[in-house]
Amino acid sequence: MAKKRQTSKIIQALAISTLLLMAIFVLVISASHNKTKLASIPTDFSGDFNLKENIAMFEGEEIAIPKLAELDKGRQVLGTANSGEKWIEVDLSEQKLTAWEGDQLFLSTPVSTGLPWWRTPEGEFRIWIKLRYTRMEGGQGSYYYNLPNVPYVMYFENNEISGWRGYGLHGTYWHNDFGNPRSHGCVNLPTEIAKELFYWVGPILPRERGVIVSSNENPGTRIVIHE
């Protein structure tokens, strides 16, 4: 039995590694040909906090990175006892995110979605990968950013918007201007709220892991984004 469990873990790890290598390849090709605007380019798929990174760059300013890894050892948030489907609503006109379990409210928070020239896409999506931490890099000129250790990242996709374009929900340590558009297409959340969502939504992340890809057996939570 122990050998079977070990073999299963090895197969799962190889599958995730293959997916992540494919993701990096697609991102490099897309960026080099400049055929699609990327919201944010994740360059670290380990899900781990990089203790060697101390400084982030955002729109020409250097920002100290908080030591979030010391605060999070991994946990599960059970949410409400309601048996309805968990889903997330993002209202672009109100700059607000609401998380529901059926018709029961789990939480509501102001957010920062995409600027007019980097709009957050509208539609119905599913979370396809969760990373406890990752690096994001993108933008150009005065809007260039290089953000190590972005916390509680939940990338989403649908049939029209590929997951490799980099749209997601995530915690934010480089600004506190929630309630106003501020991002390059992602949904910026207060970090503590992002943490609550991260452990509440699917796919469910095993306690000892920093990354999980959705599957039929462990699906991603539905996200509805609208004006």
CB-based contacts of 115, cutoff 8 Å, min separation 6? 181, 182, 183, 184
Average pLDDT, the chain: 83
What is the dihedral sign for C-alpha 101, 107, 109, 113? Answer: negative
DSSP 3-state of 196? helix
Q: One digit per residue, pLDDT tens: the chain, 227 residues?
A: 555 555 555 555 555 555 554 444 444 334 433 334 566 666 677 888 888 888 998 878 899 888 765 556 555 444 444 558 999 999 999 999 999 999 999 999 999 999 999 999 999 999 999 999 999 988 778 778 899 999 999 999 999 999 989 999 999 999 999 999 999 999 999 999 999 999 999 999 998 899 999 999 999 999 999 99
CA R_g for the chain = 17
Q: Report the relative pairing of strands 123-138 and 145-157 from DSSP bridges.
A: antiparallel
What pTM, to 2 d.p., does this model score? Answer: 0.79
* Domain coordinates in residue numbering, the chain: 2-226
CATH architecture, range 2-226? Beta Barrel (2.40)
pLDDT tens digits along 5-14 = 555 555 555 5
Identify the residue whose tokens are 């896409």: 121
Query: 126-156 pLDDT, tens per residue?
Result: 999 999 999 998 877 877 889 999 999 999 9
